[in-house]
Structure 1
Amino acid sequence: MKKLILQSIIFIVAFAFSVNPAFAMTANQEKVFKKLSNPISESEPNDTKSAANRVNLRDVVQATLDDEDVDYYELVIPKRGKLSLASYLGNDEDENDYYYNDYSITLYDADGNQLAAGGSIVEAGSYYLALQASLEEGTYYIAVKPDEYSYMGSQDYYLGFNFDYDVDFQITNLAADVASPQTERNPVTFTASANKAGLEYQFSVQGNVVKQFSTDNTYQWTPTVPGTYTVKVEVRDPAFPDAVAQKEISYTVTAYKPDFTIQSLTPNVKSPYLAGKTVTFATKTNKTGLQYQYSLNAKVVQAFGSKNTYVWNPAKQGKYTIKVEVRNPQYPNRIVAKQISYQIVDGKVSVSSLKANLSSPRPTATSIKWTAAAKGVDLEYQFSVYQNKTWKTIQNYSTKNYTYWKPKSAGAYKVMVTVRSKLSKKTATKTAGYTIYKPSYFSTPTLKSNKSAKQASGTYFHFTAKSSGKYLEYRFRVYNGYYWQTIKDYSSSRSLSWYVGYKGKYKVAVDVRQKGTKKVKSKTLSLDIREAPNATFNADYNIYYNFGYFKVSNYGYSNLKVTKMQILNNGKVIYTYQPKNWVTIGRTYQTYYFYPKKSITQFSYDSLIKVYYTYDGLTHTSYLYR
């Protein structure tokens, strides 16, 4: 109930009044009375109903009350409704807090019957008296009285009135002429009706008043944004404008879905095209009455209008994106777009290479393919050959960047490609020299090795070939006992370096031919590759006892025979020993001893031992360091 009473006095906030200097309000009090303006003053004497001050339904009265005083106010209600009263007493806040229970406000009907009495409320630290009553049409009286035992003396007070008329009609309908949902930007008319004539109607959409109170009970709305809206009508009797009835309905607006398509966006000249030339872009759709907007690299160059073409004269080369946006003018925010890429070039032509699939020289009647690489737009290639101070075209302009040439006579030639742009007519050329020869005699090659044919595995060989004749090329092959393998294919190089890693019987062959021909002459060498030694030696001599030992660890598969051992000082032999049976078979080790006839007095820690031995048919030497 306290909340209800508080609501009943809030009407005072709607009035503003100038504060009486003798009645200074605090900040808390002003939160309720809000600087209410133009209050009416009490007129004495008004101590009886017959002398009551006449007040209106929106008045605020400023008056004075003392211990012996009674103030009456007369209120005429023209129509049924609800009355709300609120009163604040006290010359200052302390007095208000102290005396608010020392007086009362009472409501009477015309016959003097008490209808309601004010009750105290507290809001934001301030105290008030307030009452509410539902009243019929008629005359009523309000009495402001001090209590019987009050000692308030003389106090100012404010008395505020508010009245809400009851509505005596009903809104019978609120409807749209087009059923929800409806597409955006189509007008909708809302019509309200009530069961009483002479009323006024006000329309709101989403809480915003779109048509003020008038006797027109319709509102035409053209929504531009899709969504679900609350449409409200408020209805009042102009004789009692505070008595308002309202009704709401929900209405959905949907987005317009374009009912057309862009069939094509076409330039009148195929891309790429030249800078400084005019290009016209045309848009075709399946519906008339549309608007078109053109953009170039995201920048609008022709705003929306009925023209479906755009004329462009590009000044700079580059890649461009041309975009057209199409819309129905009734729905300007619903756009269908299409874009294409278009390239503008300067028309320059450059040739980066002209290459033959076969290196020069080549014999007559050889078919040679020439290929050109060029930059430019819409290019054509022409190939020509120069010999004996004359250029001869071998392929007229075409889109092929290659041609085949089969010369019948020997000589030094020049081959030229001329490249032109069909678009700009600019050209560029590139020339290459080429030699054609007639096959002739050449000799059978010789093949020499830097080492003898019998070697241990792990040996590097260097072979050199030689043949007399022109335009020769050499190929080197090796036979490993099972098959021939090309080690170095045909080239102008006459030498081969080759490493032999395994034992076996090998053949090395060189093939010679004139470049581009099939006739071949060959030479072959045989190699006998033996197993390389895989052994360690350990030896020492005891000068005091005049004997020494020699240990052989043979990790290989062939027998190892030591044939001689020498001890050297600074390269000079100071002792030689030639054993007869120091043979260590494969995969074993053996220690041998030697006994000089006399002590080797020159033997020292700086002495070097040199070993001579045979392994798999080859003689080898090794040095042992102490």
Structure 2
Amino acid sequence: MNEIILKFSKESPQVKDTPIEISVIDVQPDYLYKFNAGIDGIWTTIQDFSEENFCIWKPKIDGKYTLMIQGKKKDGKKSFDAAAKADYIIGAVEEDIIQSVNIDRRELLQGEKLSVMVETTVKPVMYKYWISGKDGWELIRDYNSENEFLFTANEPGKHEILVECKTIESKNNFDDFRTISFIVSEIEKVQITDFKCLSTELLTDKELIFQVDARHEDSRMVLYKFVKIDNKGKALCIQDYSSKRMISFTEREPGSYKLLCMAKDMYSTEDFDDRAIIVYDIKPYKPIVIKSFTTDFTSPQTTGTKILLKAMVEGGRNLLYRYMIEGKHGEDSGFIRNNSFLWETKYPGEYKLSLYVKDESYSGDYEECTSLEYLVEEKLFKPVKIRDVALSKDKNYVKNKPINITVSADGGNELRYSFIVYKDKEEVEKINFGIANWVNFTPEQSGEYELEIRVRDKYSHKDYDSHTFIFFNVRDYIPGIIDYILIPSKEYYMVEDDIEIEVITQNAKETLLKYCISINGHPVESTEYSKVKKFKFTPKVSGKYNLEIYSKNIQCKEGYDEKKETKIYIHEALPVTNTKIKSSLVKAKRNEEVTFVVNSEGGKDVCYEFYLMEEENWKLVQRYSKKNYYTFIPFISGTYRLLALSRSFYKKVSYEDYDIFKLEVN
């Protein structure tokens, strides 16, 4: 839209009834001009559309005017094609009442507060405040006795504060006025620089952690909002605008999801300054991987031998196993839950042993499979079989700490034992066949190890007659694991109660603990990691307290080994109970005053509400208040019932307790 340049014959301010010429400087050919004046939201036409590019304006009322000139082409179809606005103040000042107008700063950022203070030469005085903006003068506080106020600057640009003053007895619109200008700078827009998922496993019912990073001015507070969108397009807000830039939750159903993050400056007037979206796929379980499929007796074996097929599988949630034996005398176990299957060799021949694995929820035939060849011969002697493997410890394997392994086997004539250690599928150590059925294994590095135990008869020509595998997950240290969180056996906790929590951990001497408390989702206290296993706190306010306990070994350099949490509900006071109504009269007569008094136990700042049943109709007679009595005069004979509801003042419930009193009126 084109702009119009205005000119006034007299500068603002002027007194009323003064003739003021308003003219358009840059007159456009074939244009018509209309002159309007607005005050307090009411517009008046000074001169309607005409070829005249000037008019004479004689204002009759003191005040702040907005002059608007509209121009349109003679043959144009629009209401107007060009426009201009200007502010003009009309009012005569008889004496200087305002001594000075002070503001705490001339330049500020969008969203910051501006403090204005007015000093006058006389008192008492009434004050009125205006601000100039893109739409002209806007009233921000009408006349009152306050000589100072705080104003939030939301609109960037150059502005003026106009202060009008008048004495209490004055009948003028104002007796004096003063303006002061300031500049509001636009804040740097918040920009999301990174949005990522910190969880390594995206599985159902597993905690998912997302974190967003944003670029912004250090002095500004940035708020984040997270909205989750499922594969059906349904959106759910899981965190409204908050300063928390990390969020965690779980998904119950597998599928593809989207997480939308919106970020904005706390004082921004926009719905959001920047947004980002991340797409993540939730799997129902870890991928199924067959780690090993072995037999307790190596091939070949003789007929009549009972061979145990053993499967070691990772992943899945509820695994199903199918063992299929193909050969002269085939067998099929169908899908079962056991990770082992006992096969008795009845006929000699070549066999193919196959393992099929899938999760219970999988609708296909199988997810993973493997097979091995096996030879069964006619029975000649008792086969060699590993009966048991005993370990000096069955968990928490740490590097440089020895593990004793002892093997129990039978069969054959004279048994020999061999031990082979693998790391990352590569052989790192081997003890050749000997008479010792035990070995001490000392891992020198952390990682996953496999120990293969081989047994054979002294006179056997095979590499081994029977073998098995043992797996070790060796760590640099024993992780700090929390076994139990012991909380005082108290059912009802209140403000100012001392609450002491004791944590039972494994390897307590080398385990550090950190305690974090949040109230109704807001973090309030956090300790540093220490060896303290008892934590005591005294709640000062009511609400849902969430205590998160992080544990780690003293050798843990980053993060933590385990996190557990417990929730404790803190109440302001005991619940209101034992509400009883007492009447000044047991039996009453018509037109006779009766007073009911209610008392309760427990609660805090207990208040009461009364309902009266008269002629089989209940009606509210006294709303909730701390007044614990009610007085009325029955005018009709019959049965009356008074219902008293009671609750603590701070409780957001209809009632906690009640009592009903029956009164006969003769």
TM-score (norm 2): 0.27
Indicate the structure (1 or 2) with the bigger Cα radius of gyration: 1
Tell me the TM-score normalised to structure 1 length: 0.29
Work out which structure has the larger RCO, using CA pairs closer than 8 Å and 6 or more positions apart in sequence.
1
